Structure 1
Amino acid sequence: MLKRNGWLSSAIKFATGLLLAAAFICLARTVHAQNGPAADVSATSAASAGASAPESAASVAPSGRRPASNGSAMALTPNDGLDYIIAPDDELDIEVIDVPEFTRDYRVGPDGSLTLPMLSEPIFAAGLTPDQLAAVIAEKLRAAGLVTNASVTVSVKSSKVHAVAITGAVNKPELYTVFGTTTLLNVLTDAGGLSPEASDTAVVTRGGTAMRVLALRSSTAGDNSSGPASVIRVDLKRLFDGGDPKANLTIFPGDTVTVLNAGIVYVVGAVNRAGGYTLARSWQNMTVLKAIALAGNVTPDAKSKKAEIIRRDPTAPGGRREIPVNLKKILAGHAPDLSLEANDVLFVPESNGKKAFRQGMQAALGVGTGLLIYHAPL
């Protein structure tokens, strides 16, 4: 019985040992299986990274640049999606692919020129996009025999403020930062739109950058005209009401946009609400009847047959013209309504004799100070 128990105990120990050995082998194989593939994946990644590194470097250059083939480059992207325009004092990162000795930072001179030590003559960079400048550099390197197949990238590292001045009858007249080009509609929107005093006319005064770019475009297109206009008047009705794309001018850094005031018509004398009335956009075709309506009509003692329009006229004696207005006939529909111009004074005298008429006329001639200015309804 003891022998049988001893043999059974030995068998159990032997089986237990086999099980432990098998478990150890399985564990070892599991660890090997885990470590082995990990080493393989790491090697594959390294090989893949090594193989794809040149492609990555070629497709995404430093500072967010995307190099181009044959001299083009990705410009600094402006907010409105239009091309960035290089300006004086911009700092540029210029890289010639595979030619590190030509790769460095450069600054555009105050006159807009860019001097590269490998080229004998400076390049006029202001007014070009980074794409265009890269193409010019690549061509000049090839022409000089320095690089056979030049591939150049240009990016803008830093830039001074590129401003467009928006003045006149807008809600927020000030300087607005513009990177690249934008449009007239965009800058007017940034300025909060037109104020109630706005006319239908905006004046765009071109800065130096715009004149250089537009002159270059004209010469490239074979335009034989005298060149781009430095001052342009824009009909805002065409822009806002008609959606005319020709009225939506391209605006460059350095340009000034001025929305002209519609002007004021003064109504004085025997009216219920004497004052100045701005010629809002919908009221710019101001007439005598409209002005009288805005002024709350004439008073009962008005001498309607003897009303006058006093208009500035440098060619007339005293620098003004006095245009007789028979307001009574106009109100009755027996005479045509007369148009008024900015700064006209419509004077309606009282029927109190010649002395009162002369006093009223003198008051009308001195109009402009002390009068309330009313905004005509839009």
Structure 2
Amino acid sequence: MKLAMVLVCAALAWGQQAEGPLVSTYVLGPGDQLIVRVLDMEEMSKDPFQIDMRGNINLPMTGRIYAKGMTVEQLEEAIAERLKAYIKQPDVSVMLQEMRSQPVSVLGSVRTPGVHQLQGEKNLLEVLSLAGGLQPDAGYSVRIAREKQWGKIPLPGAKLDDTGQYWIAEVGVKELMEARAPEKNIPIKPHDVVTAPKGQIVYVMGAVKKSGGFVLGEKERTTVLEALSMAEGFDNFAKRGGAKILRKTDKPEQRLEIALDLGKILDGKQKDVPMEQDDILFVPTSGVRKTLARAGEAAFGIGTGVAVYRR
């Protein structure tokens, strides 16, 4: 929730800096549906009009007008100019009933993934906020895919995909949120695909103070002791010997068990052990304390859900 709120606030701040007061900047395109009203012309206001795939709108008396690329205000002026042949001072109003021409797909670990419509120019943070912000398990970079017709994505490392039809680029979320790279908060174009991949996560379970999943930073690796530190250390029931890492194998139903003696690692008698993505570090409870802990869980109905934390 905190991360989502930060993204929304950051997006609003960026928008205020870039655009100032809101104006009608939405650019019309194929598929948009419009309601057109002209004073004293009832035939113009019966049904909505749709911009066709060639970008034209066909209206009574005015005929075909090329509306693609216009704002609503510009289209009003174009319609009024055509109607001057019949009306001395035409009073024209155009309302956008349904936007269909500027979709952007926001996918992955966001709160409301799907297709969103751009209304005027939006930057990357604003588009992420349209999708409700990032989920707690989102990674530390965002990927953007853009149709070749819009030109190269203005980010370092941008390249064409294997088909040669799309530009692909990545940008770190942290540097955007901290305003360390304002030039990377790029404008998003219609039909862009913005993906927030799930981050690399390690899990710490059992007798620790803060069990759950921990999202690793961009290009970050971690070890058993570092993961234990993220979990805020042992709880009062921990047994330092008998810990283990549960690691994924080629068989989804099976995990490799790697035995650990956390006491010896902490004392420097054994080397710290690197962890891999989706590893589970399990810290057991000891003897009587384990029995008491289980009894407490039964008594108070502690749930088994796993929280995911970002650092």
TM range (shorter): 0.5 to 0.7
TM value normalised by structure 2 = 0.52
Q: Report whether the alignment pairs 1:187 with 2:159.
A: no
- Where structure 1 has 5 or more consecutive residues not aligned to the other structure, the ranges are 1-76, 94-104, 135-154, 219-223, 353-369
SS in 2 for 1:307: strand
Q: Which residue of 1 aligns with 2:96?
A: 158
Map 1:273-284 to 2 at 5 A.
273=209, 275-279=211-215
Map 1:1-378 to 2 at 5 A.
84-90=26-32, 107-109=50-52, 111-114=53-56, 128=69, 158=96, 160-161=98-99, 164=104, 166=106, 169-170=109-110, 177-190=117-130, 193-204=133-144, 211=147, 214-217=148-151, 226-229=164-167, 232-241=169-178, 243-245=180-182, 247-262=184-199, 264-269=201-206, 271-273=207-209, 275-279=211-215, 285-293=221-229, 294=231, 296-297=233-234, 302=239, 304=241, 306-314=242-250, 320-349=255-284, 371-376=304-309, 378=311
Q: Which residue of 2 aligns with 1:71?
A: none
Q: CA 1:372 to 1:157, structure 2 compared with 1: closer, same or farther past 3 Å?
A: closer
Q: Which residue of 2 aligns with 1:141?
A: none
Deviations 1:132-188 (A, max 9, x none): x99xxxxxxxxxxxxxxxxxxxx9753523554555555676765532331112223
The amino acid across from 2:224 in the alignment is V
The amino acid across from 1:86 in the alignment is L
- Contact between 1:236 and 1:247, CA under 8 Å: does it hold in 2? no
Q: CA 1:80 to 1:233, structure 2 compared with 1: closer, same or farther past 3 Å?
A: farther
Q: Which residue of 2 aligns with 1:45?
A: none
Q: CA 1:255 to 1:125, structure 2 compared with 1: closer, same or farther past 3 Å?
A: farther
CA displacement at 1:346 relative to structure 2: 1.1
- Contact between 1:78 and 1:84, CA under 8 Å: does it hold in 2? no
Q: Which residue of 1 aligns with 2:7?
A: none
**Distance in 1 separating the partners of 2:308 and 2:280:** 16
SS in 1 for 2:227: helix
CA displacement at 1:112 relative to structure 2: 4.8
**Distance in 2 separating the partners of 1:264 and 1:337:** 19
- Where structure 2 has 5 or more consecutive residues not aligned to the other structure, the ranges are 1-18, 36-47, 76-92, 153-158, 288-302
CA displacement at 1:289 relative to structure 2: 1.7
**Distance in 1 separating the partners of 2:264 and 2:65:** 71
TM value normalised by structure 1 = 0.45
SS in 1 for 2:125: helix
Q: CA 1:268 to 1:82, structure 2 compared with 1: closer, same or farther past 3 Å?
A: same
Percent of aligned pairs sharing the same letter? 29
Deviations 1:84-115 (A, max 9, x none): 4433223689xxxxxxxxxxx98432x45548
Q: Which has the higher strand share?
A: 2
Q: CA 1:317 to 1:113, structure 2 compared with 1: closer, same or farther past 3 Å?
A: closer
- Higher normalized contact order (CA 8 Å, seq sep 6+, divided by chain length): 2
SS in 2 for 1:310: strand
**Distance in 2 separating the partners of 1:179 and 1:339:** 47
The amino acid across from 1:329 in the alignment is K
Q: Which residue of 2 aligns with 1:37?
A: none
The amino acid across from 1:238 in the alignment is E
CA displacement at 1:241 relative to structure 2: 3.4
The root-mean-square deviation of aligned C-alpha atoms, in Å, is 5.1
CA displacement at 1:344 relative to structure 2: 1.4
CA displacement at 1:217 relative to structure 2: 3.7
**Distance in 1 separating the partners of 2:310 and 2:151:** 44
SS in 1 for 2:142: strand
- Contact between 2:248 and 2:279, CA under 8 Å: does it hold in 1? yes
Q: CA 1:301 to 1:273, structure 2 compared with 1: closer, same or farther past 3 Å?
A: closer
Q: CA 1:115 to 1:178, structure 2 compared with 1: closer, same or farther past 3 Å?
A: closer
- Contact between 1:84 and 1:180, CA under 8 Å: does it hold in 2? yes
SS in 1 for 2:98: coil
Count of residue pairs the alignment pairs up: 234
